[in-house]
Each structure stands twice: as C-alpha cells, then as structure tokens.
Chain A
Amino acid sequence: MNGAFRIRLAAAWIEIRENLGRSTLQALGIMLGVASVLGGFSISDSQRRRADELFAKLGGFDKLNVMSSEAVKDGKPSALQTANLGLRFLDAEEGEDQKGSVVEAVSVTRNARSRVRSATADQERMVNGIGRDYLDLDGYTIREGRAISNEDFQRANAVAVLGDEAAKTFFPEGNAVGKTMKVGDIPVTVIGVLEERVFRFRKGQNNIFRRRNRIIAVPATLVSRRMQGDAYQRLDRVTFRVPKMEAMADFAKDLDGMLRANHRGQQDFRLDDVAARIRRQRSQGDVYNMIFMLSGVLALFGGGLVNVNIQMAALKERVREVGVKMAIGAGGKEIFKEFMTEALLLTGLGGLGGLLLGVGFSATITGVLGVPLYMAPISFVSAFLMAAVFGLLFALYPAFKASRLSPMEALRYE
C-alpha cells in the first residue's frame, strides 16, 4: 500500500488537530454513545459477577435439588398417599447410584423446630438434620472441631455442628466444641463450629447469609428417628452435585422417572435445576443489556446525525482543497478514502475516549450501587465496535458528497 494509508492517517490527524473545536464536537457524540453503552454493559457485568460470587459461596450452581412437596392439595389423603408420602433417604442413595458417574456429591436434609437449651440460652430454633455432603454442598467450612461423619449419620449420634451465630448464642464464652446442649430432650454434644459466612450483594445491605450462621446441624437421622420417630426416614430435600453441565438434563429426567416409580407414581417431589434457574434469571438480565444497548445506540445515532451536519458544513470550507487534490490527480475514490480515514481516526479516538469515560461512568454507578466493579472484555469490544460502525456509517454520506464534487467547480469555489 506504499504507505498511502499511513499518509492519509497523518493528514487526517493534522486535519483533526487543526480543527480542534469541530473535531471535539464530532468525537463527543461517539464518546458519549460508547460511554453509555459501556456503562450499561458494565452495570450488568458487575451484577452478574456479584451473582456468580454469591453462587460460588453457596457451593456452586451445578446442583439439582429434589424437594418434597405435598401431593395432596385438597381433601384427605388416601391410604396409599399417607403410607408413601415423602422423599426418603433411599431416594438419595438410589439417585446417586443411578448415574454414579455424573453425581459427584449428594446431601440430604430433614429439618425440625425444637427447643434448644444450653447453660446460657434457651430458644425455640430450627434444627437442621443433615447428611452426607451437606456442609460442602452448601458452602460451609469448619472452623473448629469436625463435621458430622457418615458414622454419626448411620448411628444417629447425638452430635451437633453449630453456625457462628448459634455457637455465640449458646456458648458465648467460646470453646463450644465438646460442650453439651439439649435439643428437645436429647443431650447433644457439639463436635464442630462453622466459619462465619458473610455476603452482601451491595455495600450496606444485610448479610444475606445471616440465617446460615444460625444453623444448628445434627445428623438427619437424629431428627427423623429420635426427634420425630419417623419410620420412613423422610427427608425435606436431597441435593445432587452434577459438575458436568451437559449431563444434568439427562440425569434430571432419569431421576424424575426413578423417583416417580419409587413413589408409586405420585408427584410428591419437585426438581430444581439450579443452573437452569440461574440461566433463566440471566436471560432477564439480557433484557436489561438490550435496553442499555438500545439507549447507547440512540445516543450514537444522535451523535451520528450531528456529525453528518458538522461534516457537511465543514465540507463547504474544504471544497477548494478537494478541487486542488483532484486537479493533481486524486480520483473520487481517493477523496472518499481521505474523508473516511478522518472519520476512522475520529471514531477511533472518540471511541477510546468513550471507553475511558465509560470506565469512569461505570465506576461511579457501581460505586453508588455498592457493587464491586467488573467489566468484561467483550463489553469493551462491543461498545467500541458499535461506535466504529456508527462513526463510519454516518461518515459515508459526507465522504460520498466530497468524492462526487466536480474538480473544476471545486477549484472555482470561494
């Protein structure tokens, strides 16, 4: 290309520099457009990133929950229903076996409300009967002592693991591990205390893990056998971790079939594919992205129209220059390229300025919202590309006009 583009670029730069006022005005339209698109994108990027962090802290979203639900909506349950109602530990085990290869972990829960007493406190509390990988799947970590083991679970040992708040409430003097508390009438030994969990979606918001710090976890078998005397060992919830996302749908289908068979055709359970649920929520987020993009597009459109006007006015001052260039041999194509090169440079500079402005803009907004700022690289790319498209699109008309000037008339133009 014998440096022709480089020279056009240099000439364009001179042109822009020499007409700073006009150029700034033109770049401003692009800049504001890019900034608003980028700002919009990064707000949703940041929210999304925050949501990802939340789910990571909740133990990931590669999970399938099975919840018990009432099969009987109205009226009295039939004998069959009374006999079979509910999710059982058997279901969890069979579910795990069913696709042994895709299930990485499984957890079970059976909750009960009970009076809980220690030397210093006496409260009506929710007691979480848990089993297997519950703590891990729900994102808990042990701070002191140990977790509830399989043996504890099998034997329905009277042991408990306390959340941070529960430990502080019932054993304010500390060192809860090894101490005893009463759950209902059962004396239970504290074997572990959990790390405090804190997550605020935005600064200044409540800790949304507050309730999780209140956990009083005992073996699920302790709840069902000893506290509730339930021969069926029914559960409130079973959770499977299936890290292979693509295997989830099949697994859920098979599990559904199996559970139905186990439950004699009764739909007394409900499946909740966490990842799918999040995807659904995200597609709502995409709507906001579209709205942000649209408002950015409108800004760019407005800026573009202004640019056409400015450029057409500027063309009047440059008719003679075009005439001279044509006289020494520049064809319409060359003139067109020169004008487009200017637009390219202006758009590029305006776009870069817009990205900077957009970062500031995003930082301010996320600051006000109290969400940590996160900007995805793709957002930069797409905001910039949009500007480029608009900048160049709206430069076409003036450039075309310039390229079609007749050399003689252009030379005579005063």
Chain B
Amino acid sequence: MNVIEASQITKTYGSNGTAVHALRGVDLTVGRGEFVALIGPSGSGKSTLMAVLGCLDSPTSGRYMLDGEYVEKLSASRLARIRNEKIGFVFQSYNLLPKASILRNIELPMLYAGVSSKERRERGMELLEKVGIPDKAKALPNQLSGGQRQRVAIARALANRPALLLADEPTGALDSKTGAEVLELFGELNRQGNAVILVTHDPSIAARASRQVEIRDGLIAQPEARPHEPLAA
C-alpha cells in the first residue's frame, strides 16, 4: 500500500477576481519507504502541495488518501490528530518553540499524543542521540547552531514515528556543509524505512532522492517529458 495517493488535487487561494490557482490538478503517489524530491521554481506550488499532503491545509478539490485513509474532508481536529500521528514536518526556518528546551520541543508532539512523561523523556533522549546531539537536551533553541536546530526539528518530526516525513527546503537556511549533513540524515532515515518528501530547488540535492518530481505552475511536470514540452502557457 502507498503512503500517499493524491489525485487531481487543486488549491485555489482567494476567490473570483483575485483567485490564485496554486495547485491545478496534481496527481501523486508515494510508496512506503520512498524518498521523493519535489523540485520546481519558486512560486510553483511546492509549499502549497506540502501543506496539503501534510494536512495543514485542505485541498480545494481532489482526493487525497494518506496511509489508507481519505483525509480531504476531515474536520480540523481530526486533521490535527493525523498530523500528530502520521506526519513529521521539517521547515526551512526550523520553527522550534524558542522558550522551550530542546527536549521539551521534541516531547511536544508526544505530549499532544498522550504519551506518558517517562516514555516521552526516554524517546526524546533516544531521538536526540539519533540526530547526533545527545548533549543538548536542556539547551534552548537560540543556543544552538542552525544545523543543530534543524536536527532538533528532525528529531521532533520523528517523535511519534510518523508514516511520512515532509521537509520543505530543510537546508535552505544552512551553509552547504551543514546542509549536506542534514541531507545525509534524511538519507539515513529513509534507509531505515521512513517515507520522505523533500522540497528543494537544488538539483544536486534532488539527485540524492530515489525519485524526483518536478512541479511547475501548480502541475506535476513529467521529468522525462519536460525537455520536449514548452512551458504551459
């Protein structure tokens, strides 16, 4: 079974006169354990697609099955549950809670899931180890370097053992060396069986993924077809 089966997803912002058609009928299937790189120019709809896939936003139309469940019509609270249990987000700007310790940041998704405090602590420490910063549990986010913060964000994304990791330009704010290390971490997580979708506009990064999906003007462009076809008008 696939983690993601999305068909004819559209997303329109605004209405009538000022409507922006960010997605215009996206079909996408992602299997378990796949590592998909989502590429495309700025403004092409990558973040919008990630938001829909991550249940942060509902599609305007289309069908979306996540981990065997149609989710496009679910209520806000059901979607929150699904984000909590099945999805791990990693953002370009880390999005850690600045006033909470690193460990607390990582524990937070488990807290929302109702995991006991003992187990939260144990798993939190395990995850910190896994992302390579076991000694930072008590630190605050602003005491960490960018690469370390992104590792915390990854640990947090993994907290509830999600079916899907979504990373929207996770290395965008990092220098190339730390960026490469973070990507290496994603690669390793994928080898351990996590499905990963990673947004980037860097082809060399995309090359590391098992599959590349290009998005242009809110539509999936078939990579093999792209060179022959003129840009959609």
What residues of chain A have their CB less than 8 Å away from a CB belonging to chain B?
2-4, 7, 11, 14-15, 18, 320-321, 323-334, 406-408, 411
B110-161 interface with A by 8 A CB criterion = 111-117, 156-157, 159-160
CA–CA, A406 and B51, complex, Å = 12
Task: Determine if B73 is an interface residue (Cβ-Cβ < 8 Å).
Answer: no
In the complex, B34 has a CB within 8 A of chain A: no
A-B contact count (CB 8 A): 77
A321-B97, A329-B83, A329-B85 known; A4 vs B111 contact (CB < 8 Å) = yes
Query: What chain A residues lie within 8 Å of B35 (beta carbons)?
Result: none
A333 adjacent to B77 (CB under 8 Å): yes
Contact B80 A14 (CB under 8 A): no
Query: Which of A7, A15, A18, A327 is close to B56, meaning CB atoms less than 8 Å apart?
Result: A327
| Residues of the B chain whose Cβ atoms lie less than 8 Å from the Cβ of A327 | 54, 56, 83, 89, 91, 95
Q: Which residues of A contact B95 (CB under 8 A)?
A: 320, 323-324, 327, 411
Chain B: residues with CB nearer than 8 A to chain A? Answer: 51, 54, 56-57, 76-77, 80-81, 83-85, 89, 91, 95-97, 99-100, 104, 108-109, 111-117, 156-157, 159-160
22 CB contacts below 8 A, A to B, read: A2-B114, A2-B117, A3-B117, A4-B114, A14-B99, A14-B100, A326-B56, A328-B83, A328-B84, A328-B108, A328-B112, A328-B157, A329-B80, A329-B81, A329-B85, A329-B112, A329-B160, A331-B112, A333-B77, A334-B80, A406-B57, A407-B56
Cα of A321 to Cα of B105 in the assembled complex, Å: 12
- A11–B51 Cα gap in the complex (Å)? 27
Quote the shortest CB–CB distance from B113 to chain A (angstroms): 7
Least CB separation from B52: chain A residue: A408
A7 touching B83 in the complex, CB below 8 Å, given contacts A2-B116, A327-B95, A331-B77: no
Known contacts A2-B116, A3-B117, A325-B108; is A331 also within 8 Å of B51 by CB?
A: no
CB atoms of B77 and A408 under 8 A apart = no
Q: Which residues of A contact B96 (CB under 8 A)?
A: 324
For the complex of A and B, list the 7 residue pairs with the smallest distance between their C-beta atoms, beginning with the closest. A329-B84, A331-B80, A408-B57, A331-B77, A329-B112, A328-B109, A324-B95
Closest Cβ of chain B: how far from A66's Cβ, in Å?
73
A320 CA to B117 CA, complexed, in Å: 26
**Could you tell me the dominant secondary structure of chain A's interface residues?**
helix
Enumerate chain B residues within 8 angstroms of A324, measured Cβ to Cβ: 95-97
A334 with B112: in contact, given A329-B80, A408-B56 (CB under 8 Å)?
Answer: yes
CB-defined contacts of B80 to chain A, threshold 8 Å: 326, 329-332, 334, 407
Using CB atoms, name the residue of chain B closest to A11: B100
**C-alpha spacing A330/B116, complex, angstroms:** 16
- When C-beta atoms are compared, the residue in chain B nearest to A331 turns out to be B80
Q: A409: nearest residue on chain B (CB-CB)?
A: B57
Of all chain B residues, the one with the shortest Cβ separation from A8 is B111
Whether the pair A331, B100 counts as a contact (CB closer than 8 A) is no
Give Cα A327–Cα B77 distance, bound, in whole angstroms. Answer: 12
Chain A residue numbers with a CB within 8 Å of B113 are 329
Closest to A2 in B: B116
Within the complex, the shortest CB–CB distance from A410 to chain B, in Å, comes to 9
